[in-house]
Amino acid sequence: MRNILLLGFGLASICCSTKAECILADKDAQKDVVEMVALLDRVSENGKVMFGHQDDTVYGIGWKDIEGESDVNKVTGDYPAVYGWELGHIELGEEYSIDSVKFSNIRREIISAHNRGGINTISWHLRNPYNGESSWDKTPGSVAAILNDEEVQAKYLEGLDRLCDFFVSLKDDNGQSIPVFFRPFHEHTGSWFWWGADQCKPEEYVALWKMTQDYIKDERGIHNIAYIYSPADVEGDKAKYFERYPGDDKVDVLGFDSYHRDEEKGLSRYTTSVAKSLNLMKEESNRRNKPYVFCETGAEGIKMDRWFTEVLYPLVSASDHTPAYVLVWRNAVEKPTHHYAPYPGHPAAPDFVEFMEKPEVLFESELVEEFRKGKK
Ligand code: BMA
């Protein structure tokens, strides 16, 4: 519906109902960033949901660093429409990511995915600049230190600069910057990361978000980014979802992460809480004129052979205003039980093909046909 109201405002207004609302968090965002956000909106409003997979083409079960290889493609014959990439350790100036992938290979695969018509979204499990510990460090006051302690702040910005250099290096064959989503400081309503709820005050989290965003767009002049807000599953609790929300003018896409951890015990907690959160997303998406996505999910090891069609599909397709994408986590080459998409021979593979064939579910070639070429 929203789109119809907007035709008069041209590109920048595709996903908004008044011109004032059309401006993304980055007011100078490239035109194709605006288009990328608007594409999410169009997908949702057509009752479709894109399938995404983390680190899809850099490794999988039994292989690594084979250009264009993909467990999802080997099982379904198509690529995911959305690719998640993890840039943890880029802040250290290292050659390899937290998951032991060369950053140059991640860059290459982001460019290839973009050239095929796919969408890229970036997460960042950065080390704690306060003490050098991992993202999972729970030292309270780390965010406050970044904000208030000059030395810690300088260390953080040094790392952020390296992330920015990576963003800048994302160029297509014509030298144009490639638009990507960035999902900083995710799952912060939980308390397992140093930026989590027990470790910082809401206003400190918001200040860290703003500092980061302002640095990227204003200090570094980087305009190929749209920003996704991605708390942990709050089970539909609106107050909790927005307690640490940076603001409508700082966020372009709403989302959340939730995993099906009690798979063997049945569906209860996961399906109930995810359904509630998706409902909340849908309502707030309408109210705030922002698309919404299911940023991270999955059942580790996929022990239910029909998980994709019987658990995930009913959740993400049960609406005329679906999440624009759902992304399952990575197929860890170094720890084969840590996988979230089927690979050839996996007992859930036939069901995954059925999932792909559902009319609502878009893999990459369908996204390209229907929404890029077809201009739905
Ligand atoms: C987690 C796990 C870790 C990984 C991290 C960053 O959920 O998959 O093994 O290092 O994400 O990708």
pLDDT tens, position by position, 163-172:
999 999 999 9
- Amino acid present at 373: K
| 55 close to ligand 1 (CB < 6 Angstrom) | no
pLDDT score of 40? 97
pLDDT score of 268? 75
Closest C-alpha to ligand 1, atom 3: 99
pLDDT top residue among 225 and 268: 225
pLDDT score of 12? 39
| 125 close to ligand 1 (CB < 6 Angstrom) | yes
Nearest to 326 by CA among 135, 184, 35, 121: 121
Q: State the average pLDDT over residues 5-10.
A: 35
Residue 65 is encoded by which pair of tokens? Answer: 């660093």
Q: State the average pLDDT over residues 291-302.
A: 97
Tens digit of pLDDT for each residue in 86-141? 999 999 999 999 999 999 999 999 999 999 999 999 999 999 999 999 999 999 99
pLDDT top residue among 18 and 260: 260
pLDDT of 13 > 70? The answer is no
Predicted TM-score (pTM) of the model is 0.94
pLDDT score of 21? 44
pLDDT of 77 > 80? The answer is yes
Q: State the average pLDDT over residues 248-260.
A: 98
pLDDT of 6 > 90? The answer is no
Instruction: Yes or no: say if 297 and 49 are a contact pair by the CB < 8 Å rule.
Output: no
Nearest to 216 by CA among 173, 156, 171: 156
**Residue from 329, 330, 333 to probe ligand 1 pocket by mutation (most atoms less than 8 Å from CB):** 330
Q: What is the Cα–Cα distance from 81 to 86, expressed in whole angstroms?
A: 17
Instruction: Yes or no: say if 367 and 49 are a contact pair by the CB < 8 Å rule.
Output: no
Q: How confident is the model at residue 7 (pLDDT cuts 50, 70, 90)?
A: very low
Q: How confident is the model at residue 22 (pLDDT cuts 50, 70, 90)?
A: low
Alpha carbon of 250 to ligand 1 centroid (Å): 26
Q: State the average pLDDT over residues 352-375.
A: 95
Residue 229 is encoded by which pair of tokens? Answer: 């807000």
Give the Å distances, CA to CA, from 81 to 72, 144, 196, 249. Answer: 11, 38, 30, 27
Nearest to 226 by CA among 90, 27, 368, 87: 27
pLDDT score of 16? 52
**Residue from 58, 59, 98 to probe ligand 1 pocket by mutation (most atoms less than 8 Å from CB):** 98
Closest C-alpha to ligand 1, atom 4: 99
State which ligand 1 atom lies nearest to the alpha carbon of 88: 6
Alpha carbon of 329 to ligand 1 centroid (Å): 8
Tens digit of pLDDT for each residue in 176-197? 999 999 999 999 999 999 999 9
Instruction: Name the pairing type of β-strands 292-297 and 325-328.
Output: parallel
Give DSSP secondary structure letters for 68-134: T--HHHHHHSS--SEEEEE-TTGGGT-SB-TTS-BHHHHHHHHHHHHHHT-EEEEE-----TTTS--
Alpha carbon of 103 to ligand 1 centroid (Å): 16
| 240 close to ligand 1 (CB < 6 Angstrom) | no
Alpha carbon of 18 to ligand 1 centroid (Å): 40
Give the Å distances, CA to CA, from 244 to 225, 251, 352. Answer: 21, 12, 36
| 99 close to ligand 1 (CB < 6 Angstrom) | yes
Q: How confident is the model at residue 321 (pLDDT cuts 50, 70, 90)?
A: confident
